Structure 1
Amino acid sequence: MFKEFRTFIMRGNVVDLAVGIVIGAAFGAVINSFVKDILMPPIGLALGGVDFTNMYAVLKEGATAGPYDSLASAQAAGAVTMNFGVFINVIISFLIVAAAIFFVVVKPLNMIAAREAAKKAAAAVPAAPTTKDCPYCSTSIPIKATRCPNCTSELK
């Protein structure tokens, strides 16, 4: 059973999937940091100093009544909040990841597939005929022949 399990684990697809998941998680962390630490502060500044991570709506007051200075203080007080600023950050992160995957993976693969399809289409073009049928005896003769070698008929 252990030998069979080892064979399963060492298959290329399983290893590739594992590597993809690890790289994807690391890529997700980089994108989250990019959105949170690089992209959103200038956008918030351009919108008048808005901090998207602290955009929330209090649905139910906590142990201490609001207003709360930040989302963290509202959650620490036990308030029930709808965190739409965090959702905006997640949407922007998703769009960046989707764009990166499209331009880095999907677009190049589509270009390669189109090139391969063009090669196959060019190879599928039939070659020019090298023979023709004699109109008198219906035998196959070279295309440049002026007389049929079988029935000796003169061809146009």
Structure 2
Amino acid sequence: MGKSSFLQEFKAFAMKGNVVDMAVGVIIGGAFGKIVSSVVADVIMPPLGLLIGGVNFTDLKWVMKPAEVVDGKEIAAVTLNYGNFLQATFDFLIIAFSIFMFIKLITKLTEKKKAETPAAPPAPPAPNKEEVLLTEIRDILKEK
């Protein structure tokens, strides 16, 4: 396989509609994820934290071992940062719900479009054995 053949095959693969559509979807999905993460972190979580006592979710953690100073060196605390997990969980749930609603809207629009286009008339039924036999007899009689 030559170098140009490989490049031609790769170009044909990369330019297929499905691959290009998927790439566009991934890029838009990444940007959409950032928007939703910002909505969650900057718009939803502050009021929610205020309602439950002014808590910032990202600061929630369980200190398993406190920070220490040993021989003049500070050893950082060992913490379980469950607040970040809660933040990521809220991000996921809101992104999943948003995508669900978007897919539901797209499905509704495509169903509406399909309903608006007239259905093709049904094909005439295939002739039964009697009709085929009668047609053959007619053709034989015409030849005589």
TM-score bin (small chain):
0.5 to 0.7
Question: How high is the TM-score relative to the length of structure 1?
Answer: 0.60
Q: Whole-Å Cα distance in 2 between the matches of residues 104 and 16 of structure 1?
A: 17
Q: Which has the larger radius of gyration?
A: 1
Asked whether 1:7 is paired with 2:12, we answer: yes
Following TM superposition, by how much is the alpha carbon of 1:62 offset from its aligned partner in structure 2, in angstroms? Answer: 3.6
Cα distance in 2 between the residues matched to 1:36 and 1:12: 36
1:43 equivalent to 2:48? Answer yes
**Helix, strand or coil at the partner of 1:58:** strand
- Quote the Cα distance in structure 2 between the aligned partners of 1:51 and 1:64: 28
Partner of 2:125: none
RMSD: 2.9
CA-to-aligned-CA distance 1:82-136 (integer Å, 9 cap, x gap): 11111111111111111111111135416745985x89xxx7xx9xxxxxxxxxx
In 2: Cα distance, 1:77 partner to 1:113 partner = 61
State the match for 1:60 in structure 2.
65
Larger RCO (alpha carbons 8 Å, 6+ apart): 2
Percent of aligned positions with the same letter in both sequences? Answer: 43
- Corresponding residue number in structure 1 for 2:134: none
Measure, in 2, the Cα distance between the counterparts of 1:27 and 1:106: 17
- The CA deviation string for residues 45-96 of structure 1, in whole angstroms up to 9 with x for no partner, is 111111101001112334459xxxxxxxxxx963222111111111111111
Do structure 1's residue 106 and structure 2's residue 91 form an aligned pair?
no
Instruction: State the distance in 2 between where 1:101 and 1:6 align.
Output: 31
Partners of 2:21 and 2:77 lie apart in 1 by 44
The 5 Å alignment of 1:3-152 reads 3-64=8-69, 78-109=76-107, 112-113=110-111
In the alignment, which residue of structure 2 is the partner of 1:140?
A: none
Q: Which runs of 5+ in 1 are unaligned?
A: 66-75, 127-156
Q: 1:45 to 1:15 in 2, by over 3 A?
A: same
* Count of paired positions: 113
Flag structure 2 segments of 5+ consecutive residues without an equivalent: 1-5, 123-144
Q: What residue number does 2:141 align with? A: none
Q: How does the TM-score come out when normalised to structure 2?
A: 0.65
Which structure shows the bigger proportion of residues in helix conformation? 2
SS of the residue aligned with 1:81?
strand
